[in-house]
Amino acid sequence: MGKIVQCVPNYSEGRDLAKIERIVAPYKRREGVKLLSCEPDPDYNRTVVTVIGDPEGVAEAVIESAGIAAELIDMTAHRGEHSRMGATDVVPFIPIKEMGMDECVKLAQRVGEALATQHGIPVFLYEEAATKPERTNLAKVRKGQFEGMPEKLRDPQWQPDYGRAEIHPRAGVTAVGARMPLVAYNIDLDTSNIEIGKKIAAAIRHSGGGFRYIKAGAVETKGIVQVTMNITNYKKTSIYRVFETVKMEARRYGVGVTGSEVVGMVPMEALIESVEYYLGLYGFSKEKVLETHLMD
């Protein structure tokens, strides 16, 4: 199959399923593109779509879909709990197979330019595709949200990477970027004391002095406390390392770790890294996994 890219576009519509159906239609009818999931959230009034396929096909489908979203979603009337600045709010490209980050950055540039020229939507490039340091962080790019964008675009510091410095009247502004796959990972503690979970989360996360690619917090669920995290670069901060560190920290409070779970999907390499660690496996690679050869 050659190169495979993943794309997780977020749309500012999570209630009207008929509209969502029309917005995701381009991902269903295109050869070489596969819609993995479509998760509308009515409270957020937002839909997260996961799609994989050949870069060419995915890029074309995203451009087409963003055009439909610009027609169907009116941001001037949008209400929802999640911050947002556009009908197609964010479009991250993620390298999956036979692709480097540089190729995802180029794909983000191509799609960003197309959104501006074909649909009149101003575009900020973010994360690995960012053109200025302050645009790396999506939260900073989106600050001010849809309502604040007309003013933000007047700031010389916040000229869009593509398109004119003027919002699309109904579809707002879109952020297009490139990033590593996220691994959403939770670790269960055998305690109902949320404070212990919070302390452990603080110890492992980047902002607390922990691992560089961990964003973590603590939640109460199923009568226990869970350390819940995003691993933003699983190649550099491995799952097993975080798991063993949480076990080690938990011992300090006399608390045990009872298990863990992956939310959503995980790249095979992230699992391989953990198997290599625990089994002391040497000379191993993806090529030794039989299924790798079923993908070509």
Nearer to its own copies, 160 or 181 (CB): 181
Q: Under a CB-based contact definition with an 8 Å cutoff, are residues 123 and 162 in contact?
A: yes
- Give the shortest CB-272-to-its own copies separation in angstroms: 7
Nearer to its own copies, 187 or 218 (CB): 187
Tokens of 4: 């495979």
Own/partner contacts of 35-40, CB < 8 Å, gap of 24 or more, are: 36/265, 40/13, 40/14, 40/15
Nearer to its own copies, 126 or 234 (CB): 234
Nearer to its own copies, 5 or 105 (CB): 5
- Give the shortest CB-63-to-its own copies separation in angstroms: 23
- Give the shortest CB-287-to-its own copies separation in angstroms: 8
Site for its own copies, rule CB under 8 A: 1, 4, 6, 34, 36, 52, 96-97, 181, 188, 239-240, 243, 257-262, 264-268, 271-272, 274-275, 278-284, 288-296
- Give the shortest CB-152-to-its own copies separation in angstroms: 35
Catalytic residues: 82
Give Cα 290 distance to the centre of its chain. 28
Q: Which amino acid is at 265?
A: M
- Give the shortest CB-165-to-its own copies separation in angstroms: 38
Q: Look at residues 102, 99, 73 and name the one whose alpha carbon lies nearest to residue 1.
A: 99
Alpha-carbon distance values, 171 to 46, 73, 166 (Å): 14, 7, 11
Q: Look at residues 171, 131, 142 and name the one whose alpha carbon lies nearest to residue 84.
A: 142
Q: By CB neighbour count within 10 A (0-12 exposed, 13-18 middle, 19+ buried), where does 247 fall?
A: middle
Nearer to its own copies, 161 or 249 (CB): 249
The dihedral of CA 132, 134, 140, 146: what is its sign?
A: negative
